[in-house]
Structure 1
Amino acid sequence: MRICVINPNTSPRMTDGVAAAARAVARPDAEIVAVTSPMGPASIESHYDEALAIPGLLRAIAEHPGCDGYLIACFGDPGLDAAREVADAPVLGIAEAAMHFASALGRGFSVVTTLHRTIGRADDLVGHYGFSRQCRGIHACDIGVLDLDNDPTTVETLVQTCRSALIDDRSDAIVLGCAGMADLAERIGTAIGAPVVDGVAAGVGMLTAMAAMGLRTGTASGEFRSPPPKPYTGDLRDFGISSTRTFDTFPTPRPPRAGEPGHPRR
């Protein structure tokens, strides 16, 4: 099976770290395809960044058809619903996957993210995914995304923040709130003596299980069928959708899913 892990920012260095974390937990029969977004911000640390990262994410999915699962390696889970409309396999965000895993590890979990300004987005996702009872708190370490692997105090700061979160929130587990922290989960967990969940590893685990079970995104409600055909203009003109292909610039469309027009078992 092939799992496509997409870094929706444009930092190849972060993609390398995410790829290493994904391959460290992948099943022997799973190939990890690591992709850096072809356009967008260097890091995603605001609503503006997130909005402008989505076209690159969708382009990356279109350029890597035929995978058995797609993982969005950004804790804001940008463009997740749109990605599910255009991908031909299940799509997960790392926040979604990490919260599912952490909710099974005790009474509650705490999230430790990067900058304070991202706490609101993380809180929105906690509620959206239905983990308001399990999530005991969200904390920021105040290290920027691209500084995580440059700041010599990163590990010490994260350990202190995670340890304090466990005590203050009376939590049993920590969720790391950034893909750039993926390679630090084991070190932090050893230091604080509690489970630390990295969403990249959790997402790879969930997607490989889904692929093994033959699961696909459901379209019975109509919401996650291919978007209706229409032209786009200006800088987004290449993202227009025709009746025969997902993006006009990419000649290979995903096949129709069960329930969609053109599927033999519709």
Structure 2
Amino acid sequence: MAFLDILIPVSTGVWNESVKSAAEKISKKEEINIRVTSLDKGPISIESEYDEVLASPEVIKKAEQLEKDQSDGIIIYCFGEPGLEACKEKLSIPVVGLRESAVSMARLLGQNIGVISTIPSAIPRHYRDLKNDVRKIIPLNISVTDLTNYSNVETSLREGAKELLNCGCDVIVLGCGSILNIEFGKLQDEIGIPIIVPLYSSLFVCEYFLQCNLKQSKVAYPFPPNKPVK
């Protein structure tokens, strides 16, 4: 039995059960045990670069502990991916980011990627990270902590998807892992272009890495020098 850990980089477990349930519904690997973990301390949500920086040291600590606890692969479950590159350096197991997997999958399906994020102030940092990889990023105008109001989220998501379609986007990426419990297939059929759910893309990528015994290259992500930290 392999252990695949989904690390939600916030100091609340409010999303743990919904993420675990959604992941287990779509996982195709009976031999993989999915575990979901949040942080012991840190921000309650990730909506800014400031939040990402605050969360990153705790993400690294938790990821190192998960590896010691027999983890075979880790998903950093946030579109901002705090601590992702550092974890890829430090760990000997595959580490997959929510954004990198979703955007990579979107590139296979279209040429003009649109992203639907959470609040307006979250948009600039995504543009800085994604640069020329996307055509347009728009907000739901709903904070992360309010994404459990699924009827409001679905309404805003539908409006946002139509806006991106009208702007020339041919594939949509959901820009937050907490956008869940929506009938994505129905919405995709209604809009007429692919919609990438980051949970699905990151889970399938990580499961593939485990199945094929793949992990990040240690040429690209060499182990950090072993030295004291004061």
TM-score surpassing 0.5? yes
Judging changes above 3 Å, is the alpha-carbon distance between structure 1 residues 29 and 225 closer, same or farther for their aligned structure 2 residues? same
* Largest Rg, 1 or 2: 1
2:174 partner amino acid? L
Whether the 8 Å CA contact 1:217–1:224 is kept in 2: the answer is no
The gaps in structure 2 that reach 5 residues or longer are none
Is 1:72 matched with 2:76?
A: yes
Deviation at 1:227, TM superposition (A): 4.1
Q: Distance in 2 between matches of 1:166 and 1:23?
A: 31
Aligned residue for 1:209, secondary structure, equals helix
Letter paired with 2:177: A
Partner residue, 1:117? 121
Q: C-alpha distance in 2, partners of 1:56/1:200?
A: 21
Q: How far does residue 151 in structure 1 lie from its aligned partner after superposition? A: 6.4
Of residues 32, 42, 49 in structure 1, which corresponds to 2:34?
32
Q: Note the alpha carbon deviations across 1:51-94, whole angstroms, 9 max, x for none.
A: 11112211221221232211111111111111112222111110
Distance 2:213 2:198 in 1: 22
CA, structure 1 residues 107+151, in 2 after alignment: closer, same or farther (shift >3 Å)? closer
Secondary structure of 2:96's counterpart equals strand
- Give the aligned residue type for 1:110: G
Q: Secondary structure at the match of 1:12?
A: coil
Q: Percent identity of the aligned residues?
A: 27
Cα distance between partner residues in 2 of 1:24 and 1:117: 33
Within-5 A mapping of 1:36-51: 36-51=38-53
Which structure's relative contact order is higher, taking Cα pairs within 8 Å and 6+ residues apart? Answer: 2
Q: For residues 186 and 16 of structure 2, what CA distance do their matches in structure 1 show?
A: 20
Whether the aligned pair in 2 keeps the contact of 1:15 and 1:34 (CA below 8 Å) is: yes
CA contact (8 A) 1:4 1:35 kept: yes
Q: How far off is 1:2 after superposition?
A: 1.9
**What secondary structure does 2:109 align onto?**
coil
Superimposed CA distance per residue, residues 95-123 of structure 1 (whole angstroms, 9 cap, x where no aligned partner): 10000111111232200000111112211
Deviates more, 1:53-62 or 1:111-120: 53-62
- Which among 175, 182, 185 is matched to residue 180 of structure 2? 182
Residues of 1 paired with 2:117 and 2:107: CA distance? Answer: 17
Report the equivalent of 1:205. 204
CA contact under 8 A between 1:85 and 1:227: conserved in structure 2? no
User: How far, CA to CA, are the matches of 1:148 and 1:101 in structure 2?
Assistant: 24
Corresponding residue number in structure 1 for 2:141? 142
Checking the alignment, whether the CA contact within 8 Å between 1:182 and 1:199 is kept in structure 2 is no
Deviation string 1:228-251 (CA, Å, 9 cap, x unpaired) is: 32123xxxxxxxxxxxxxxxxxxx
AA at the equivalent of 1:84: K
Report the 3-state secondary structure (helix = DSSP H, G, I; strand = E; otherwise coil) of the residue aligned with 2:80: coil
Q: Distance in 1 between matches of 2:53 and 2:71?
A: 25
Q: In structure 1, what is the Cα distance between the partners aligned to 2:89 and 2:218?
A: 9
Inter-partner Cα distance in structure 2 for 1:33 and 1:203? 14
1:23 aligns with 24
Unmatched 5+ stretches in structure 1 = 233-266
Task: Give the CA deviation at 1:152.
Answer: 4.2
Q: Using the TM superposition, name which of 74-83 and 143-152 deviates more.
A: 143-152
1:186-226: CA deviation from partner (whole Å, max 9, x where unpaired)? 453244232111111101111111111111222235x5314
Structure 1: how far apart are the matches of 2:214 and 2:204?
14
The whole-number CA distance in structure 2 between the counterparts of 1:80 and 1:227 is 18
**For the Cα contact (< 8 Å) 1:107–1:172, is it kept in 2?**
yes
Provide the C-alpha distance between the structure 1 equivalents of 2:135 and 2:106, rounded to a whole number of angstroms: 12
* Length-normalised TM-score, structure 1: 0.79
Q: 1:39 to 1:227 in 2, by over 3 A?
A: farther
Residues 33 and 227 of structure 1, relative CA distance in 2, 3 Å threshold: farther
